[in-house]
Structure 1
């Protein structure tokens, strides 16, 4: 009987030991060695001078029409903009990785509508089209139908899409995306120096952005 209990005890201890080792290895591999996204990245005091950003606005949001969190935060970013000092605003730039990746696939639509001067009027509808309706924006016929439904001149859109202005804007979006190594959205560039990713709910996160933009360390030249 004693031998039976001994082997039962030994078996239990062995199982516990094996479980402990497996758990330790799991933590080391998946947790301690994980490369999580930094929530605030400082590109250094010289970043404002070397940055390709042309906007003088203190906060620039890099977004995508295919980004659910960007859509969710649209009203919050609008509200944040209203809290900024008179004359200041938040600029929205579409991510463009140059490879037509998932988030960048709608960059040319943004660029075309922005050159036409109407992008902000249709941003919410484009979020809905891409995220909720899951439209195939690569299908020209289907997208042209969306343009007509929203009273956007199809010929004007297609001509603008092929213009040098749109090409230059696409190049600009790509230079900003690559300089700040933005691979996820929304990303907020503050004073051309910092890139902040959302780590809190609005309006608390918005207050952090404003505080950072007003700090001496974050000031751009």
Structure 2
């Protein structure tokens, strides 16, 4: 009898990940349907996952290693987009994010480091100035003065406005928040649970495309 129970326990342990994944999603618990759904960018046959984040958000800093590893394994039909949360009229960290994307390879080299500088080493304050951020990014091979100029470029204004408008449309409750195809705002009770729900919503949207 004991041996049989042990066998059942082993089978349950082996099957539990699959069972967890197969668990039906519950609206209002796992996700919220956006009232006026619209993706950030045209889907063009892709499934879009947007993570709204802030470098100054310590929850986002905790989530980043998990979401970064998860993102690296996404199939080709899924498009993952980081989107900075922009509260109020402006945000130097959001400007730094877009300025970094304008320099080849800079965003990939610096993204995780900015999280650490703000939330772990505290080399950057949460309310960093343009000059402080430009000085930080200079460690990654850019000219600080030119990077500060890029951060102040009015061409970034529409990008900040777009990020702010998207957050309003999805009724952003805080950061980090993940949105699938502009339709589903993920809830969940942990970071891993958010990714589980994302996987299931991706599968749901993939099935709808067939």
TM-score greater than 0.5 by the shorter chain:
yes
2:207 is the counterpart of 1:211: no
Measure, in 1, the Cα distance between the counterparts of 2:56 and 2:42: 24
Instruction: Write the distance in 2 (CA, Å) between the matches of 1:139 and 1:75.
Output: 26
CA-CA distance at 1:92 after TM superposition? 0.7
Give the match's secondary structure for 1:152: coil
Residue of structure 1 in register with 2:31 after alignment: 40
1:177-219 C-alpha deviation (Å, 9 max, x unpaired)? 11112141110001110111342342x5323211112215995
Aligned equivalents of 1:139, 1:216: Cα separation in 2: 41
Deviations 1:43-63 (A, max 9, x none): 14x513xx5x11634211111
Q: Which residue of 2 aligns with 1:151?
A: 141
Counterpart Cα distance in 1 of 2:171 and 2:63: 21
In our comparison, the structure showing a higher alpha carbon Rg is 1
Unaligned runs of 5+ in 2: 1-27
**In 2, Cα distance between the equivalents of 1:216 and 1:116?**
33
1:176: Cα distance to partner? 0.9
8 Å Cα contact 2:130/2:151 also seen in 1? no
Q: Distance in 2 between matches of 1:97 and 1:143?
A: 18
CA contact (8 A) 2:30 2:197 kept: no
Aligned residue in 2 for 1:109: 96
Taking the aligned partners of 2:175 and 2:73, their CA distance within structure 1 comes to 22
Task: Tell me the distance in 1 between the aligned counterparts of 2:131 and 2:154.
Answer: 23
Equivalent residues in 2 for 1:153-192, closer than 5 Å: 153-192=143-182
| TM value normalised by structure 2 | 0.70
Report how many residues are paired.
176
Q: Which residue of structure 2 aligns with residue 135 of structure 1?
A: 124
Do the aligned residues in 1 keep the contact of 2:33 with 2:184 (CA within 8 Å)? yes
Shift of 1:65: 0.3
Higher relative contact order (CA 8 A, sep 6+): 2
Q: Residue 33 of structure 2 contacts residue 183 of structure 2 at CA under 8 Å; is this kept in 1?
A: yes
Change (3 A) 1:175 1:38: farther
Which runs of 5 or more residues in structure 1 are unaligned? 1-36
- What's the offset of the Cα at 1:125? 1.3
Partner of 1:116, secondary structure, is coil
RMSD of equivalent CA atoms: 2.9
Q: Which of 32, 36, 54 is equivalent to 2:41?
A: 54
Contact persistence 2:96–2:133 (CA under 8 A): no
Secondary structure class of the residue paired with 1:90: strand
